[in-house]
Chains A and B, each alone.
Chain A
Amino acid sequence: MSTKERNVDLAKWSGPKRPYDLVKELVIALVVVTLLIGACAAVFGSPDERAVTLQQWGQNAPSDFVATATGELAGSTISAGYGAPYNDAAEGLTLGPLKLQKWAGITIPVNPAEDFVLKPLKSSIDSAVPTAVATWSAASADQQAKWAEDYAAAIEKAGDSAKVVEDAAYGPVPVMTAALLHLAQEGSLDGLLTTEVTPLPSDFTMPLLFLADGGYFDELGAQQHLHGDQWGMMNETGSYPGQSWLWMFSFMYQIEPFKSSENADSQIFAMLFLLNLGFIFMPKLPLINRLPRLIPFHRLIWRRYYRENNL
């Protein structure tokens, strides 16, 4: 096939025409589609799985909460070791030689130990907290890390923070994390973290980053089949259809080399960028732009025209 345009395609159609009422078509479509959607909405409804609070986390998974708070102090959680745009704890993901994440800069500063643990503790009425925080603040960074890491290891070993035997090796960390747990359980931590940046917020970066550092939230997502490696990007809570149009995006996370790549996110973004370029320029892609001829669905669509013109 020549890619040269044909006159019949370029010129205004001069062959036979027939009446076609576009406005009537649009109005009928509007009525039919509105009724159809209205019926779907009435029959199926929509999901509204209640948002999770830090209070729920503290009440339902106290040990996970304490372990996560300890991790924030130790610098071992996801957000504590994140990098841009939150902090400089890591280089961030790269795309070959491009350090796009790092270059974009720290625009949403988050210091997890300070923001998720130490600042909220200022509101604790626990009488042991001021001394514990003072001890923590006076210690060297190495000492702080050692306390927190040792306590995290002890929780892991005991399987439950409540079963960890008191030990001076953990420094003030158990007192601090227990007080933070208390703040969470009574419900005040939700407010404290949400209002940390501004008292009338619309931004939930602080509480959500903290929540997502824990195992409790992660487990809730897994139960709903929402994890990236469960094709979760396409899925919705409950038995509702989700964003199935993200199938290609979701698919990439299931295959090598992305599946096991540390830079999966940036690599998949780049792949999708290229694929979308291909989508936009599909009519110019050799072979692909010939598919409509090779697989002749058009013979069905225009069967009347071909029949009437003996083509």
Chain B
Amino acid sequence: MALLALNLNHPAKFFDWGFVSVSIPNLIMIGLIVVLFVLALVVPFPTHKEDGK
């Protein structure tokens, strides 16, 4: 499609480790979950000045 800035219509590359075989796009999505989880835990949540104190 003309809209596409990035063409993903080619065979995927795979991460192979022993019997584990994960496509790079899947690995990116799984990595995104881990990264978001870690960020959600460590990045301070903005709170209003007047609260709590």
Contacts and interface: CB of A to CB of B under 8 A. Distances in A.
Interface in A1-56: 16, 18-19, 42-45, 47, 49
A249 interface: no
A32 B11 CA distance: 31
A240 B23 CA distance: 9
Contacts of A49: 9
A71 to B, nearest CB: 30
Looking at B1, B23, B41, B51, the one whose CB has the most chain A CB atoms below 10 A away is B23
A233 to B, nearest CB: 11
Given A42-B3, A231-B21, A225 B29 contact: no
A42 B47 CA distance: 34
A87 interface: no
Contacts of A18: 47-48, 51-52
B28 interface: yes
Contacts, number: 84
Interface footprint category on B: 20 to 34
Given A45-B3, A234-B22, A244-B26, A239 B11 contact: yes
Contact of B1 (A19, A45, A230, A238): A45
A242 B26 contact: yes
Nearest to B14: A225
Given A231-B22, A241-B26, A254-B19, A297 B12 contact: no
Given A225-B14, A254-B19, A240 B8 contact: yes
B26 A297 contact: no
A122 B16 CA distance: 50
B30 interface: yes
A141 B12 CA distance: 47
A234 B19 contact: no
A241 B23 contact: yes
Per CB-CB distance, the 8 closest pairs between chain A and chain B, nearest first, are A18-B51, A241-B25, A239-B8, A239-B12, A244-B26, A45-B4, A241-B29, A300-B41
Given A255-B19, A301-B41, 13 more contacts: A16-B52, A18-B51, A19-B51, A45-B4, A49-B9, A225-B21, A225-B23, A235-B12, A236-B12, A241-B25, A242-B25, A244-B22, A244-B30
Interface of B: 1, 3-14, 19-26, 28-30, 41-42, 47-48, 51-52
